[in-house]
Amino acid sequence: MTATPTRTTAAVWRPGDPVGDRKFAVIGDLALERGGVLPAVTVAYETWGTLSPSGDNAVLVEHALTGDSHVVGETGPGHVSPGWWPGLIGPGAPLDTDRLFVVASNVLGGCQGTTGPASADPDGRAWGGRFPFITIRDQVAAEAALADVLGIRRWRGVLGGSMGGMRALEWATGHPDRVERCLVVASTPYATADQVAWCQPQLLAIRTDPAYRGGDYYGTGEGPTTGMGIARRIAHTTYRHEAELDERFGRRPRKGEDPLGGGGRYDVESYLDHHAAKLSRRFDPNSYVVLTEAMNSHDVGRGRGGVAAALNRFDGLLHVAGVTTDRLYPMRLSQEMAAARPGTGLSVVTSRHGHDGFLVETEQVGALIHEVLGSR
């Protein structure tokens, strides 16, 4: 499933590592939107609850850029990080496993068990820089193949935030007959110029790191963690709101350091350093590149007559929600989706945390899930 990566990407899951709560489905060759075929694709996924005999209680949860299939649960063998949406899946939770069968897969191009750049190609070498360009539509095509393997013809609901929201929306517009309800949080119907612009310096930071080696750094004993750390600092700044950062950190220097004396840091710089180091321990730089480019490709209206025409292909329940302080996927994009398709629900998640509000405000998101899945 995955070739042996360098230990600078220790958090890349590879065969022989503890599987944790993961399961694996071999979906075979996958035809790609831009042409060509990605051979022998494997999808890693986790499930909660039991699929009903009629298969009508399945819900798909879509993770964001650096997330994975471990939506809820603790750290432990096979799982470097705890679940990223704690409290939302389980008996009596918004995604109530007494009633629902919940599925979350690691996205195509990722690094936690699904085929990605660290995976072995047909010759047994890591794909590295030769991993093909993939789109959000390709990722959803892999998820559709997984659904087929699991015997799920139609999802009761598909939901996600950020990049996960892109895939949820692509499910509704690209496979409208296979989705009953769709919840899109803190996301967009297409990648805007602003979003692509913020991604460019992140991609350049990784690719210009001398350790990147054109993406073929596996087995070299080092990886482009410096470049990915810079990319993460840029991205993380867009994930939070400027007022929150100013309130939390102000101009406070790091304890024991003097920014005015040369070499010292402000608290906000230390905060970004922390998140950069944290990501380098659990994510593959190649996957960061591949998934960022996939996000840049996102446009549900491409080849479908535009966004409104694409959204109106879906006759199920569509509900979108924006975060008040989101400067990466601002509220106007959720409002645009709602206005483009009659009957689309629109909600506001109130948060001081910016884009990351969709991860932080679990009580509000849980209420949305209850509303959209009709569990109240």
Give catalytic residue positions: 162, 326, 355
Residue 173 half-sphere exposure, CB side, CA atoms within 13 Å? Answer: 28
Q: Count each helix (H run) and each strand (E run) in the chain, helices first.
A: 11, 10
CB 28, CB 70: distance < 8 Å:
no
CA 174 to mean position of chain CA atoms = 18
CB 85, CB 362: distance < 8 Å:
yes
Nearest to 108 by CA among 56, 172, 170, 191: 170
Handedness of CA 371, 374, 375, 376 (dihedral sign): positive
Q: Do the bridges between strand 58-62 and strand 101-105 make them parallel or antiparallel, or are there none, so unpaired?
A: parallel
CB 140, CB 109: distance < 8 Å:
no
DSSP 8-class letter at 343: T
SS3 content of the chain, % helix, strand, coil (to 5): 40, 20, 45
CB 30, CB 141: distance < 8 Å:
yes
* Residue type, position 324, single letter: T
Nearest to 159 by CA among 295, 49, 56, 60: 60
